[in-house]
Amino acid sequence: MANAAHLRVYSPEAAGSQEPVPGFVKVYAVLSEGGADSDLTAEWEGRRLVCPQNIRLRVLESTVAFAGAFGAFGVGLVPEDAAKAADRELRSYLSSHPGHRSHILTSAWHVPVRWFCGFDPSEKEVYEGPGGPRLRYRADISRARDRVREARGALERFDMIRGPAEELARLADWLSPFPDGSMLELDYGDVSDLFEPQDIVFDDSCELVREAVAALVADDLARAGDCYGRVLSRWAPVFSVAFSS
């Protein structure tokens, strides 16, 4: 099972489902959560918030996306029959559960740089995991959306970094429908275990990303590039695991 980080939305009210994952797509979607589909809960700012796992929905979505991403290059990593069946199952699920949506994004082996854009360094929390200290950030979703919007606007001013701007646009679209009062959580999860404990406790990736965004706003491309490069260097050793496994 891959070490994975997660971006989760916890809401005051959320629709979830415990329907089983179709057996024919299990092998194509790695979610790294052991198969449990009970709702996750968090006590935050005096409120109990809920994050439905919706494993069936997320497996179907990730399988369809995986097939589409590589199918465009003629690479059949997901058999055509399985991809078509997953697409049919996904359409049927969404038709039967129009109020359901994925509350969790998952990334194997690393934290995508764009995820940091929704957070402030002051929102960093260190907690104890099975293998040692782990790291997470938690933010009010309205503040997180504003930060993502700011970062996207800063990037869109420069054609040379169009790709990251488009990724932030997709992240903004994902965050948009969740209700005010929700909480956005970036959890390093067991990706934390790929670092030395002291490196997790003192990790400053979020600070560097915020500095890079501020530098772009100030038209300081050299400073932005330096901060971004330091983040990539921080994550390069663990990200390389994805290509060597």
Range from 3-7, 41-45, 216-220 carrying the lowest mean pLDDT: 3-7
Mean pLDDT of the chain: 82
Average pLDDT over residues 73-83: 61
DSSP assignment of 16-79 equals ---PPPPGGGGGG----STT--SPEEEEETTEEEEE---HHHHHHHHHHHHHHHHHTTT--SS-
Is residue 42 within 8 A of residue 6, CB to CB? The reply is no
Q: Where are the domains of the chain?
A: 4-202
Q: Return d(Cα 19, Cα 94) in angstroms, integer.
A: 13
Average pLDDT over residues 183-208: 94
Q: Which helix (H) or strand (E) is 94 found in, with range? A: helix 80-96
pLDDT above 50 for 180: yes
Q: What is the pLDDT of residue 13?
A: 74
Closest CA to 97 of 68, 56, 36: 56
Give Cβ neighbours of residue 107 (< 8 Å, ≥ 6 apart): 4, 5, 6, 7, 115, 191
Q: What is the pLDDT of residue 39?
A: 83
Helix axis angle for 205-217 and 221-239, nearest 10°, is 150
DSSP assignment of 157-222 equals T-GGGHHHHHHHHHHHHHHTTSPTT-EEEEE-GGGGGGS-HHHHHT--HHHHHHHHHHHHHTT-HH
Task: Tell me the pLDDT band of 95, cut-offs 50, 70 and 90.
Answer: confident
